[in-house]
Amino acid sequence: MQNAAVAEMFDSIADLLEIAGENPFQIRAYRRAAEAVATHATPIEDVPAAELRAISGLGPATSDKTREFLATGRVAFLEKLREEYPRGLLELMRVPGLGPKRVQQLYRERGISSVEALQESIANGELTGLAGFGGKTLAKIEDGIKRLGELSSNLPLIDALPLANLVARTLADVEGVERVEIAGEVRRGCESVESLDWVAQAGDAKAVIPAFLSLPFVQEVLETTESRARVRMRPGIEATLHIAPSGGWGSALFFATGSPAHVEEARNRNAELENYSDETELYAALQMPFLDPELREKTGEWDLKVRPNLVRISDIKGDLHAHSNWSDGSATIRQMVEAARARGYQYHAITDHSKALAMANGLNAQRLREQAKEIAEVQADFPDVKILRGIECDILRDGSLDLDDEILHELDWVVASVHSAFNLDEASQTARMIRAISHPAVDLIAHPTGRILGARAPYAVDVAALVEAASEFDTALEINASQRLDLKDEHARMARDANVLISIDTDAHSTRMLNNLEIGLLTARRAWCEPKDILNTKPREELLAWLKRPKSQK
DNA sequence: GCCGTTTTCGGCCCGACTGTTTTCAGTCG
């Protein structure tokens, strides 16, 4: 499956063209091509060359480049751009406060092509007097560099999980392999991972390791022994295949899953953990119930007397945060509802952006009322999926909402979230959000801390205060199942402990993105959530009843 | 660079904020 690699190629071209100051529409065309390939349902290498252009978003230039990349592994156009613009410029683009124009200016006028060089130049006062770079701007850039440094460079779960699954499926097909399972941080559902792990059992271990080493994602072999192979994989991440000894599957899986702190505690309780054929027996020997992988973080799991009934994918009855092409989604309402029904959902919320998000073609009251007609039409054709007429309403700087109460009260379901003024101080940001939480029409606060893993730090906000307010006003909080994973596990656990309902939603902007629910589910499980803690485990009628709850008023 | 159609070129996602260039360019979502 080369889709991700081709998409990455197009994104790189777009990034570099941006720095080159090329036509923004041309750049957008490359971004759309990346998106089209990334979300294409079949492996792009299986699409006949002549049919590439039929994919919406690919035209003559981009389908040629796709063919060139698939045939040779490289694209001359991109190589040429790379010669002209050093790699470090892309890193500079990630600094908050720096865009293509300033990066280009720094490179052209000062020869700066890395974050380190920029930092040094600012520190040495070499940029004073550079046109457009006043004191405040420089301070902002310095702050941006600091924030960039704080972002984790780990692979976000949303990327790690599909890769881990793909490798597991490939290994499972290798002749002689009896069993393969994902282990390590991915199995524990960590939000981002330093390394990938699998455990395999095979009649002939010697056949599995070469198959692993020859996977297309393997960049470099770091170590091979009788019982494991450690490599570096293409996104720059370490990956280990562990070979379980005959009769020792459970122990091998347990050790490869971790966490280190959890395993250490097990060792302290019983030094002999080597030869268990399944994990349940291993835990029984420790006089413990089976502990699900997501619990194994030494955050109280050893005190459990019975196995918690952690929420499962089959408990989820619908997605309560998803977009359509009325704002910035790519699919029609009908397509989204069809996809929701295909997932077996009982309900699906249409929550497009509100007008403040002009770039996303956000809806005002008039367009929301027009949208209602389309929802009604689709609803008539899908009686088994209740379509909730909703909105993702912007929370404005002062905590008021982007739409009037009148229209909000017409809707079945109101999601509120922050998309602007991320730099408020903690007290103001918290007060702003609590005002939204207390609003009588608001049902859910989406992505409460605003972070995007690996790309944007959370804004300053007192999550404990948000949880307290959510509890007081009977407002639900979201686990956003995307690259955001927001709330994160420990915040979701705070919410659960305060009996605040959590909704696990994908924030899907396409039908395929509805499939991301699983990573939010893993986060909820890491927060020890059971079905009763999750709003969208409620069957249809119960959810509709909950929506009629009287919200507390201060 | 892609798309759609008023079929081959014009339109494509817009508005607020910020700092500085004091009249607007750059960045962000």
User: Distance between CA A406 and CA A368 in Å, rounded?
Assistant: 12
In strand B, the nucleotides that come within 7 Å of a protein beta carbon are 1-4, 11-15, 17-21, 25-29
- Percent pLDDT > 70 in chain A is 99
Nucleotide nearest to A131 (CA to C1'): B21
In Å, what is the separation between the CA of A422 and the C1' of B17?
Answer: 12
- The DSSP output letter for A44 is G
pLDDT at A4: 85
In Å, what is the separation between the CA of A357 and the C1' of B29?
Answer: 8
Nucleotide nearest to A97 (CA to C1'): B27
Any atom of strand B under 7 A from CB of A428? Answer: no
pLDDT at A507: 96
Nearest to A309 by CA among A155, A528, A94, A90: A528
Burial of A175 (0-12, 13-18, 19+ CB in 10 A): exposed
- Per-residue pLDDT tens digits for A456-495: 999 999 999 999 999 999 999 999 999 999 999 999 999 9
DSSP string, A204-254: -HHHHHHHHHTSTTEEEEEEE-SSEEEEEETTTEEEEEEEPPTT-HHHHHH
Any atom of strand B under 7 A from CB of A53? Answer: yes
Q: Which of residues 456-515 of A touch strand B (CB under 7 A)?
A: 456
User: Distance between CA A493 and CA A502 in Å, rounded?
Assistant: 10
Q: The tokens 């091998």 sit on which residue?
A: A252
Average pLDDT over residues A256-283: 96
Average pLDDT over residues A93-107: 93
- The DSSP output letter for A191 is S
Q: Which of residues 127-186 of A touch strand B (CB under 7 A)?
A: 131-138, 140, 144
pLDDT at A185: 98
Q: Which of residues 305-324 of A touch strand B (CB under 7 A)?
A: none
Mean pLDDT of chain A: 94
State yes or no: pLDDT of A550 exceeds 90. Answer: no
Please state the three-class secondary structure of A506-522 as a single string.
CCECCCHHHHHHHHHHH
Please state the three-class secondary structure of A127-177 as a single string.
CCCCCCCCHHHHHHHHHHHHHHHHCCCCEEHHHHHHHHHHHHHHHHCCCCE
* pLDDT confidence band for A46 (50 / 70 / 90): very high
Q: Which residue has the higher pLDDT, A433 or A129?
A: A433
Contact A15, A93 (CB under 8 A): yes
* pLDDT confidence band for A120 (50 / 70 / 90): very high
- Per-residue pLDDT tens digits for A194-220: 999 999 999 877 789 999 999 988 999
Determine the 3-state secondary structure of A302 from DSSP.
helix
Any atom of strand B under 7 A from CB of A420? Answer: yes
